[in-house]
Chains A and B, each alone.
Chain A
């Protein structure tokens, strides 16, 4: 009886360990995917034509509507 009980307890510990390992694996995988999703991606393309021009005080003033 003692042998059967010891065997059952051992199987229980192994099952718990397996569950913990799987949970850790799942969490690690999720974290890895989250990091990849968060960091990768393309931002777009820069403008190929045109450019920035400084506005003078006179450029700025007439644009106001009354």
Chain B
């Protein structure tokens, strides 16, 4: 599905003129805001959704004594 977004990314080459007037403020705003959303949703999600299914990178091990399985994120 990412393939379908390639033409939109190529279209960024024509948007330089639109952004150039306030480039510093626009780029800073984009980066700060992107990181803020990712940090807040990621960390809040980790806390609020902590009992949900494990994700990629989780390690599933047999508990000591051989009874049941333990999931470590």
A and B: bona fide binding partners: no
Hey, which bits of chain B sit against chain A, CB under 8 A? none
Hey, which bits of chain A sit against chain B, CB under 8 A? none
